[in-house]
């Protein structure tokens, strides 16, 4: 089993049933989710040893979150128990012209209070083939940023491939540092980057022209000039017809070439949250299989598309199903 | 806070979960709803003092209905407790080519047994800026028609703007009077009228030609000739692709000009019931803001469109969200 | 009341709520269903005396299944209680590009252990106007095939019209016989046959060219040459846009003419399972009304289309509603 | 199969989940129930041909009620479809020192508008061994009382045994007649009577002294003097510790002897409603088996006790289970 | 309507269904609750104008909480919108020998960040007859303690009766002050005090001997010596047989006399949380009716007992029902 | 972490909600359970490395079962995927005098088709401190009995302590062997035996006199004479007041002494299934802690008692909570 490691917060997600708003609800559906754990969850489902590193409060919520990740086949051996509380977020599902609304209730979470030295990265990363992080972690607290830098330094020493999803959230970054100062040394140690133009422009002032291929290539070149470790930049542009009707495709730049996938029409989306994480997971899986770059972005994008058909934030479609979507399966068959 | 007042029946609505028929159900989802209260509910949500006047039985159902309206910010101080029973209606939600089926179980409701003198209209309407009624009230009983005429007379004396939604229901009007004799004096005291061609043709014999703009203008002119108090006539024509796929636009006639909105494509409708009431509420809100006529019909229509995205019969979208729909928001974003 | 009789297994169906996979579920929605009982269920709803013949275990599951069929107006007087267990099947509902997955857990079911002489066919079929079977029954066990042949022989003696849905399931047929040897004598006693090209090609080696009309006609002619009792062959070709967006039409061949219906666009399908059985029921109903062949296939197809709008495997739309769909009703009205 | 016939209203029952009050509920659990149908439901479960005669509205609620009775094995062939509405009742389940509250919403129900001549009693009662009625039917309307008298007259002619449950409800009897004038001729044709002292005192002024055995015997003697057709009077005195903790026993008087059962302690009652009807059913079953009088009252009482352990108003325990309770089974075993 | 005012935090409560632990749950039942609002909720139900003063975040949770209080008839006009987040608490319901476990997730709540001057106490308290507070408020933050002292000072000036529930929670009081220094000036302005011996001993070092009457009297005397404003001390001693089987009685000391109620045996408790608040509400109600001291403690205790029979934290039993419990109603009747 | 290993079937359990019978249900609650896995689940919760060895079908049900065990902290690394189907059992929860009814649907399960050589026992048992089996495994098939004997032989070689729960089920043992011939060599390798008198009498003809202490001692002595490896025999006698009211105590015999615990009164049992397995787990836990024999039986019994308070078949109470029950905690506190 190939070993992959991720670091990041896991929150309880609370969602009114169906299309209810919170003010209509007398119960909330719950699950446990975090951008990085969602990546590792997909990879664990697909047969890898996915280790997620985090910190949960030592209370009923923390233990429930552990069980949730274990049920999804993740290895939780290195999650530490301690700290104040589990972060939460409330989701009101959008419909038609009504957008989905997320209300975060995140700080002061157990994860945001991690500190340098808390995790034995040498042991955790021993034998790993991949490490994944997102820009949410350094946005939470100085301690979280420190812990991430520790991990990245060990990865560099061990030659472990690193992917990072910039994932800029303006509501975070409250501890007095700017994204550019904190994330620059991190990107200097990262080979695969997921970023939207909004991310690169807001944080690094790196913008693009209008035509999609060239614009994206321009951003990628500028990013690579600044962070020479980068080998791949990928993104999945989304067209938004309504809250539950989107179109999605995938773009990849490998330092020389731009590649894109076909455009998927996605009607009656079941759950969009977590699809970006599944895109990342798809890329990692394909890369670890040694597939070529077109296959990487095709598999990543088909993974993201298929993810929209499952409830919850973590991918539940098998590798075989992703390949079928990639090959044009419309889902209209009944599999008996 | 601007004060608006409405009068009308409130019923318990009972709906099998999902797309079940009653014969499949072992539980029913419930809520409380009435055409006029739905209008006031939207206006209360939008920050006005919405007073709904009605009569509920003094039993567990009546008290549950009071709580429901209060939760939706309505002022229930003038609702009287007494009478036989709360009216009910059962809804089987349509799907695809299967229409929604409503089974009413309405009489002899507490509201239908109201009588002249039961409500202190002078006190209730003191300081109000708007009064709203619908054609369901006079259709229920002679007593209900009397009470409505009392209110309209006080409105006229106090100079309160009045809106009426003709809302003809052939299954009602069982107490021996015709709509034309009962509603004519009411419309004589009403400034804003919502009516479909079916309403005006069936009740007043006022029909139109085929082309939409002119046809509607013709109806409006004829109505105004007959009821000179009318300042505005509005309607929201609907094209029905399937039970959950409709298109909607809004028309307004202000005595001189015809205005219309853009046409909204509404796929995957969550709940259509109450959207007409929200259309009315949107008009009242815009009018009380002093917006121009195009803005009035645009806001009314966007309100109605957005309503289709919420569960239940009462609007839950904010003024800001309606304005976003009006400005073209497709709902595809995630609001964090 | 016209009397129709069917023979076949009834299983408990277990489905995770909404779009969940089994691994996410802590409860399963249940119902009872079987291809032949679904046909009889529709006909019972439509006012006929529908007798379903089967065998259920004499335990809580068997008695629950009896109640289920009775609630849907079927006559269960001839169902025998005995045998090991009730067959089960688990359904994970598809969405978007994710196909529906059915996991069968069927053998050794009570029905599969029926034997010659167990049912009094002379009594059961006395006065019946129609008998319906499907290819699932002879696929289950030698005993089930024997019992079906008994029934068909009595039908032939009494001049009862017989319909058969070939319904080839490669996962069955495990008892050492081939479909062709077992089903040939059955088709020799059957007047109305539902078959897809896949059925005829796999079992009888009867295939077709590419153009739909001619291809189907060619199959039908070959089938009739081989089984001269055949009077009608019908099928409902389906185009699969996604798991919940299909298009459906109906084809009929009456020995001389080919007829087809208009093509129905079906978005937001509620439940597809059982629609083929409803197609069969629609044909039987129309035939027993004495309608002409175009009406037969039109009614059958509209029945199948409308079925997709109901939860569960058994049709719940009335004859009147089917006729409305046939005449173009889009389902957009609210019926009050 | 022994044939038994009952006549009476069937209502939809609506109950908030768990211990909620209506004002807390957003859904209601539903079922269909009526005192007389509950008797017949138990007898049908126990293998008799139970025919329930009633009138339901020809709408979705009426058809749902038909399916409900059929699922519980009743013969609904003689139920007529027509009239205004299905009666309803709302139940808030009691707990501890909080009593169960029933809110009726009954008139003008389809059943209450039955009329003389509507039912073919000669055909319905042909071959029947028992007919059961309750005092609710004549309390609803003059028409219902007439229809019941028709049935009783035919029973007398055919020599069919008749049982009647006096079941006095002060909230009914609104049509201008007194219970004594209406029910006296009915009791003159009834052999088995269930009555509480409250019933006999309120209606007939027949009261008793204090000691239970003698008091009951005294009532019974007085009743028989007045209505000489009476062969048996039975009742099930209940001691009420809390809403869910009661004690129950059974008393029988057969014209000469008084017999009683042991006293059952019933903690954690699941559903009390319908237990009196099951008591009646138990007596009828035992009588039709030809058991002796002590066995009759023992079986009736054990049936009533066991009924308290099932959800819903209709008995679901088998004859074998009732016998086990009668013989002292505490329910502590697990039956595998 | 008598006007009563309370101040305090309101939290969202999240509870797994039934007896599940959080780690088993995929949904949580929710409600909104706070010790002081629970008092005012009962009084509002009983017909008083109950004004609850608090601060909620201006997000979906805050607005949901507003609706919840309004549905329970409270006046929310003076609740301010602002601050970080709504406090939460998770409840795992106990059973048998398993205690109920509450996991708080409270700080930094919107209410805890209130500050002096934020509420217009002069206006809010104008015409009020009673003000209620609990020891949770000053335990949360210095700001909350300040705001409470402001209110108490205005009460003193206006001669409004004040009740306080000491309600010591060792998990709070984290802002650097001790309960004794903060609460002493508050008790100096309070006429009615609810306190357990644990409260008085831990905070003020005031303990008692062993015999209940004398022990309680001794505590009360000592408290009154220290806080001469005290007119009444009340408490409701509870004996705990299991998680759902308790016994409860009430004690009152009025400066001279000790009074107690009968002891209530409470089996099958539905919800214990909020019963202490209902005890307080019962006392306030009785006091405002001018009832004598024995009636006060009897009504308070019967209120608390009846509260255990309702779901949720807020009393739903009427004054009439409380009086029935007080008079010995066991809840065994069915009220029709 | 101490390593413990168990072998046995895991089934899907399907239970109607609340107290429904299957014939009332439209959904079933599900979980995954097996006698031996329940033991290991408790030990895993309590911090041990619990390895459960089994075989699941390689379909959606098998994967769901894997996730379930992992969520409960079990190590599933040695579970093999393959075979026909997952065994099922349906549970109708008893109430009052109605017993719980279990309907098994077990064969031909994936586990029952295991065979010698399928599991690498040397590797699996390396370093283990305990192995647990039950009499269900050898009852299923010859292959299952063979696999168990393989494991026991390796345990003997490695000196691993073995516990066995005789757990005689007359409905199993269908493959032609008798329990006595199959289980005798197994008991010859087992140190700790759980057995009821019914087990020993039915299988080995070993019965007892009437007085409990002596009777049990007599059985134990006879068993030890026959199977000299036995060091401990334990059992938990149960008194059954009703389906949800039992009394439980624990007995232990250690070859010389008889010890017993206090008797626990258990009212309002939440779930009894799995309590015997938790009794076993409690003994193993105490033994591995090196506690004395009285502590072993006390902890085992308190574990079993506390188990009755949780939903599901697997223990969810912590070691600390068990100790509190052992020390007399009634569960009446609220833990904040």
- Asked if residue A177 and residue A100 are part of one domain, the reply reads no
The confidence score (pLDDT) of residue C210 equals 63
pLDDT digits 0-9 by tens, E309-331: 999 999 999 999 999 999 998 89
**Cβ contact (<8 Å) for A22 and E60?**
yes
Distance CA D114, CA C143 (A): 51
Q: Is B8 helix (H, G, I), strand (E, B) or coil?
A: coil
- Asked if residue A207 and residue A58 are part of one domain, the reply reads no
Out of F74, F98, F113, pick the residue that ends a domain: F113
**D6 CA: distance to closest CA in chain E (Å):** 24
Characterize E57-88 residue by residue with b for buried, 16 or more Cβ atoms within 10 angstroms of its Cβ, and e for exposed. Answer: bebbbbbbbbbbbbbbbbbbebbbeebebbbb
- For residue C99, what pLDDT band results from cuts at 50, 70 and 90? very high
- Asked if residue E254 and residue E296 are part of one domain, the reply reads yes
- Asked if residue E279 and residue E251 are part of one domain, the reply reads yes
Residue C61, domain CATH: 3.40.1190.30
- Asked if residue D202 and residue D292 are part of one domain, the reply reads yes
- Asked if residue A147 and residue A64 are part of one domain, the reply reads no
Nearest to A134 by CA among A172, A99, A78, A93: A172
DSSP C224-257: HHH-TT--EEEE--EEEEETTEEEE--EEE-SS-
Hey, is the C-beta of D67 within 8 angstroms of any chain C C-beta?
yes
Other residues' Cβ atoms within 10 Å of the Cβ of residue B298: 25
Q: For chain E, give the percent of residues with pLDDT over 70.
A: 99
- What's the pTM? 0.97
Q: How many CA atoms lie within 13 A of A196 on its CB side?
A: 11
Inform me whether the pLDDT recorded for E200 exceeds 70.
yes
Residue F332 lies in a domain: no
The confidence score (pLDDT) of residue B207 equals 87
Tokens of B112: 């239908």
Q: Are B28 and B103 in contact (CB under 8 A)?
A: no
- For residue A333, what pLDDT band results from cuts at 50, 70 and 90? confident
DSSP D253-298: E-SS-EEE-PPEEE-S-S--TTHHHHHHHHHHHHHHTT--HHHHHH
Residue C333 lies in a domain: no
The subunits that touch chain A, with at least 3 C-beta pairs less than 8 Å apart, are: B, C, D, E, F
Q: Are B192 and B234 in contact (CB under 8 A)?
A: yes
Q: Are F239 and F245 in contact (CB under 8 A)?
A: no
- Asked if residue C322 and residue C183 are part of one domain, the reply reads yes
Hey, is the C-beta of C210 within 8 angstroms of any chain B C-beta?
no
- Asked if residue B184 and residue B96 are part of one domain, the reply reads no
- Asked if residue A321 and residue A219 are part of one domain, the reply reads yes
Residue A334 lies in a domain: no
**Cβ contact (<8 Å) for E332 and D242?**
yes
Q: Are B39 and B277 in contact (CB under 8 A)?
A: yes
Inter-chain CB pairs, B–D, below 8 Å: 69
The confidence score (pLDDT) of residue F332 equals 86
Q: Spell out which residues of chain E touch residue B68, defining contact as CB-CB under 8 Å.
A: 71
Tokens of B60: 């567990």
Helices (H) and strands (E) in chain F, counts: 11, 18
**Cβ contact (<8 Å) for B334 and A241?**
no
- Asked if residue D141 and residue D76 are part of one domain, the reply reads no
- Conformation bin of residue B255: beta by default, left when phi > 0, alpha when psi is -120 to 50: left
- Residue E298 CA to chain centroid, in angstroms? 17
Inter-chain CB pairs, D–F, below 8 Å: 88
pLDDT digits 0-9 by tens, A293-326: 999 999 999 999 999 999 999 999 999 999 999 9
Task: Output the tens digit of pLDDT for each of chain F's 336 residues.
Answer: 899 999 999 999 999 999 999 999 999 999 999 999 999 999 999 999 999 999 999 999 999 999 999 999 999 999 999 999 999 999 999 999 999 999 999 989 999 999 999 999 999 999 999 999 999 999 999 999 999 999 999 999 999 999 999 999 988 999 999 999 999 999 999 999 999 988 999 999 998 766 656 789 999 999 999 999 999 999 999 999 999 999 999 999 999 999 999 999 999 999 999 999 999 999 999 999 999 999 999 999 999 999 999 999 999 999 999 999 999 988 988 998
Residue A249, phi then psi, degrees to nearest 5: -140, 180
Q: Which residues of chain D have pLDDT under 50?
A: none
Tell me whether residue E227 is exposed, middle or buried, using C-beta atoms within 10 angstroms of its C-beta: 0 to 12, 13 to 18, 19 or more.
Answer: buried
The subunits that touch chain C, with at least 3 C-beta pairs less than 8 Å apart, are: A, B, D, E, F
Inter-chain CB pairs, C–D, below 8 Å: 14
Characterize A160-179 residue by residue with b for buried, 16 or more Cβ atoms within 10 angstroms of its Cβ, and e for exposed. Answer: bbbbbbbbbbeebbebeeeb
Distance CA A66, CA F71 (A): 8
Residue B184 lies in a domain: yes
Residue F190 lies in a domain: yes
Distance CA D278, CA D275 (A): 5
- Asked if residue A232 and residue A192 are part of one domain, the reply reads yes
Candidates F97, F247, F269: best to mutate against D (most CBs of D within 10 A) is: F97
Tokens of E332: 């065994």
Q: C84 Cβ partners below 8 Å, 6+ apart? A: C57, C108, C109, C110, C113
Q: In chain F, where do the E strands start and end? A: 3-7, 11-15, 27-33, 49-53, 55-56, 80-81, 88-92, 100-105, 130-134, 161-165, 192-194, 232-235, 238-242, 245-248, 251-253, 258-260, 264-266, 334-335
Hey, is the C-beta of C25 within 8 angstroms of any chain A C-beta?
no
Q: Measure CB to CB from residue F242 to each of D310, D331, D334 and give the nearest one.
A: D331
The confidence score (pLDDT) of residue C207 equals 87
Q: Measure CB to CB from residue F73 to each of A70, A72, A73 and give the nearest one.
A: A70
**D221 CA: distance to closest CA in chain F (Å):** 35
Residue A97 lies in a domain: yes
Q: D171 Cβ partners below 8 Å, 6+ apart? A: D104, E336
**B24 CA: distance to closest CA in chain F (Å):** 9
Tokens of C329: 């009703």
- Cα angle C25, C109, C45; round to 5: 75
Q: What is the mean pLDDT of chain C?
A: 96
Q: Spell out which residues of chain E touch residue B73, defining contact as CB-CB under 8 Å.
A: 67, 70
Q: Measure CB to CB from residue C99 to each of A267, A305, A334 and give the nearest one.
A: A334
Residue F331 lies in a domain: no
Overall domain count for chain D: 2
Hey, is the C-beta of E1 within 8 angstroms of any chain C C-beta?
no
Q: Partners of D161 in the beta sheet? A: D130
Q: Is E23 helix (H, G, I), strand (E, B) or coil?
A: helix
Q: Spell out which residues of chain B touch residue D17, defining contact as CB-CB under 8 Å.
A: 27
Q: B48 Cβ partners below 8 Å, 6+ apart? A: B1, B2, B3, B4, B285, B288
pLDDT digits 0-9 by tens, B44-88: 999 999 999 999 999 999 999 999 999 999 999 999 999 999 999
Tokens of D133: 């009625």
- For residue A212, what pLDDT band results from cuts at 50, 70 and 90? low
The confidence score (pLDDT) of residue B1 equals 86
Q: What order do you get walking across the sheet with B251-253 strand by strand?
A: B49-53, B3-7, B130-134, B161-165, B192-194, B232-235, B251-253, B258-260
Out of E95, E113, E131, pick the residue that ends a domain: E113
Residue B287 lies in a domain: yes
Out of B63, B96, B113, pick the residue that ends a domain: B113
Hey, is the C-beta of C174 within 8 angstroms of any chain F C-beta?
no
**Cβ contact (<8 Å) for C21 and A321?**
no
Hey, is the C-beta of D46 within 8 angstroms of any chain C C-beta?
no
- Asked if residue F296 and residue F256 are part of one domain, the reply reads yes
Q: What order do you get walking across the sheet with E130-134 strand by strand?
A: E49-53, E3-7, E130-134, E161-165, E192-194, E232-235, E251-253, E258-260
pLDDT digits 0-9 by tens, C303-330: 999 999 999 999 999 999 999 999 998 8
Q: In E145-237, where do the E strands start and end? A: 161-165, 192-194, 232-235
Query: Any idea which residue has 């590009």 for tokens?
Result: C97
Alpha helices in B20-111 (DSSP H): 35-45, 60-71
Strands B264-266 and B245-248: antiparallel
pLDDT digits 0-9 by tens, C210-240: 665 678 999 999 999 999 999 999 999 999 9
- For residue B210, what pLDDT band results from cuts at 50, 70 and 90? low
pLDDT digits 0-9 by tens, A241-295: 999 999 999 999 999 999 999 999 999 999 999 999 999 999 999 999 999 999 9
Full domain range(s) for residue F131: 35-52+116-326
Distance CA C137, CA D158 (A): 48
Inform me whether the pLDDT recorded for E214 exceeds 80.
no
The confidence score (pLDDT) of residue B332 equals 85
Sign of the alpha-carbon dihedral angle for F281, F287, F293, F298? negative
In B, residues 227-266, which contact C (CB 8 Å cutoff)? Answer: 238-246
Residue C304, domain CATH: 3.40.1190.20
């Amino acid at each position: 089993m190939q070993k992959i490691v991720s670091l990041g917060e896991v929150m309880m997600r609370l969602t009114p049933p169906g299309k209810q708003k919170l003010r209509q609800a007398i119960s909330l559906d719950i699950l446990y989710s975090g951008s990085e754990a969602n990546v590792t969850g997909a990879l664990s489902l697909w047969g890898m040893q996915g280790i997620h590193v985090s910190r949960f409060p030592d209370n009923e919520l923390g233990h429930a979150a552990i069980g949730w990740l274990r049920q999804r086949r993740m290895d939780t051996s290195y999650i530490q128990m301690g700290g104040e509380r589990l972060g939460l977020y409330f989701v009101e599902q959008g419909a038609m012209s009504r957008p989905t609304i997320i209300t975060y209730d995140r700080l002061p979470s157990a994860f945001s209070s991690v500190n340098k030295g808390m995790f034995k990265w040498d042991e955790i990363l021993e034998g790993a083939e991949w490490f994944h992080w997102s820009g949410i972690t350094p946005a939470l607290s100085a301690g979280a940023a420190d812990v991430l830098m520790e991990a990245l330094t060990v990865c560099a020493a061990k030659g472990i491939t690193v992917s990072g999803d910039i994932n800029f959230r303006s509501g975070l970054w409250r501890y007095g540092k700017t994204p550019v100062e904190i994330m620059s040394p991190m990107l200097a140690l990262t080979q695969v980057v997921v970023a939207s133009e909004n991310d690169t422009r807001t944080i690094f002032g790196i913008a693009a022209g209008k035509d999609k291929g060239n614009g994206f290539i321009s951003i990628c070149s500028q990013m690579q000039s600044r962070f020479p470790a980068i080998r791949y930049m990928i993104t999945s542009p989304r067209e938004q017809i309504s809250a539950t009707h989107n179109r999605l495709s995938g773009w990849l730049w490998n330092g020389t070439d731009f590649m894109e996938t076909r455009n998927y029409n996605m009607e009656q989306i079941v759950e969009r949250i977590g699809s970006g994480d599944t895109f990342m997971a798809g890329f990692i899986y394909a890369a670890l299989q040694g597939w070529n770059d077109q296959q990487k972005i095709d598999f990543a994008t088909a993974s993201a598309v298929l993810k929209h058909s499952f409830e919850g934030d973590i991918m539940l479609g098998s590798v075989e199903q992703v390949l079928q979507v990639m090959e044009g399966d419309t889902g209209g068959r009944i599999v008996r």
